[in-house]
Amino acid sequence: MVKRLIVICIALLPLLAAAQGQKPKWCDAEARRQMYPEDEYFVGYQSGFIRNGESLDEAVARIKTEAQGDAAQRIQVHIHSTTVDAVQSAQQQTAKGLDEDIVRLFRQQTNTTATLDIPNLQALTWNNPSTREVAAVVYTRRSDFVRFYDRQIESILGKMEVAIESALEYERQGSQIKGRTTAEDALRLGPQVEYAQRMVALADVNATLNDLQMSRYTSVVKQLSDIVARLRHATAFFIQCSATTIGDKKYPLLDKDVRGQLSAQGCHFTDDRLSADWIIEIDASVIETTHQEGMMYFSYVDGSITIYNGTTGKKLIDDRLSTLGDGVNYDGIKGGDISFERAARIAYRNAARIIAESILALVLE
């Protein structure tokens, strides 16, 4: 019976110690350093007491948050290590030779301590009900920290490279403002890459510029900056085009053909009427068809065109399409083929050419 009581008492000792609030080893600074070596972990610690009017859960949450802040502060202390300084020096080279406006755009977003992400952060808490003492330790492995920010670098660079392709495609289509804004938005991601690179450098003292994808990053920034510089001062056209063909069917190809001919001459387009340098409104339709036995089918296109100076708001042209070009086409702009529908397509192609030539003549005056 005595032996059984001894065994029971021994088994209850840990529970009795916990009930009495025995501190875990990690509450001791030296033990904590041994448990979480500095070359393997980032660690934060905080202890305190339950405040008046504060519940135990509230106190634990507060102390845990303060421990997380301690970890973030300890990480930030190392931001200016020799390794990180070398990375920042390389990053500064990225902006050399860029236009000052682009550099301002590129640098306008920055990261601060408050935005520090500490991945895979683990937390342990302890409290002593009798003394109302509370403690918390948080920690993460440096290797997890490095992997997290490595993935961020790869992900953001991938987005920036996709933006380069999109911006170039917009430029090819003549949508220069879309191309420029796409490149500008991608450039704003640059500081996020630089921040992630610095985080990797402080967590891994052996990280090289190659590990941080510095060359790839510099190349991406240069390409985006070149696009922005090239498209910044492009003249932008806003075109609103409505066209119908035989049977009052919508005919979107007139809008496409006009844009294509203008784009071939270096003109650019925007969907924002207020930001356009030139505003063009076109309303066209097939007004007449003719056919005689044994002869071609003919279709005639006409309508209105109005052109405004986007800066002054002044109306510069308000005419019939048939009055454009070298001579007046009283019957409309003509097209001929083996059917009225095909003839209408040719008439619209002729109209697109005449409209584009008239716009260019006005713009280049």
Residue 293: give its domain's CATH number.
3.40.50.10610
How far is residue 259's CA from residue 236's CA, in Å, rounded to a whole number?
Answer: 12
* Domains held by the chain: number: 1
In a domain, 228, yes or no: no
In a domain, 189, yes or no: no
In a domain, 277, yes or no: yes
How high is the pLDDT of residue 112? 38
How far is residue 68's CA from residue 123's CA, in Å, rounded to a whole number?
Answer: 9
Residue 42 near residue 139, CB atoms below 8 Å: yes
The parent domain of residue 273 ranges over 236-363
In a domain, 347, yes or no: yes
How high is the pLDDT of residue 160? 97
Distance of CA 58 to the CA centre of its chain: 38
In a domain, 113, yes or no: no
Burial 94-129 (b: 16+ CB within 10 A, else e): bbeebeeebbebbeeeeeeeeebebeebeeebbbbe
In a domain, 18, yes or no: no
In a domain, 261, yes or no: yes
How high is the pLDDT of residue 364? 64
In a domain, 334, yes or no: yes
How high is the pLDDT of residue 235? 76
In this prediction the pTM is: 0.59
Best CA proximity match to 56, nearest among 136, 123, 122: 136
SS (H, E, C) 348-365: HHHHHHHHHHHHHHHHCC
How high is the pLDDT of residue 128? 94
Which class for 7: exposed (0-12), middle (13-18), buried (19 or more C-beta within 10 A)?
A: exposed
How high is the pLDDT of residue 107? 53
How far is residue 323's CA from residue 304's CA, in Å, rounded to a whole number?
Answer: 10
How high is the pLDDT of residue 232? 75
Predicted confidence pLDDT, tens digits, the chain (365 residues): 545 544 444 444 444 444 346 899 999 999 999 999 988 999 999 999 999 999 999 999 999 999 999 998 888 776 656 556 666 677 676 666 565 555 555 555 444 334 567 888 999 999 999 999 999 999 999 999 999 999 999 999 999 999 999 999 988 877 777 888 899 899 989 888 988 888 888 888 788 888 888 899 999 999 999 998 888 767 788 999 999 998 889 999 999 999 998 887 778 888 889 888 889 999 999 998 998 767 889 999 999 999 998 878 899 899 888 888 665 565 789 999 999 999 999 999 999 999 999 888 887 66
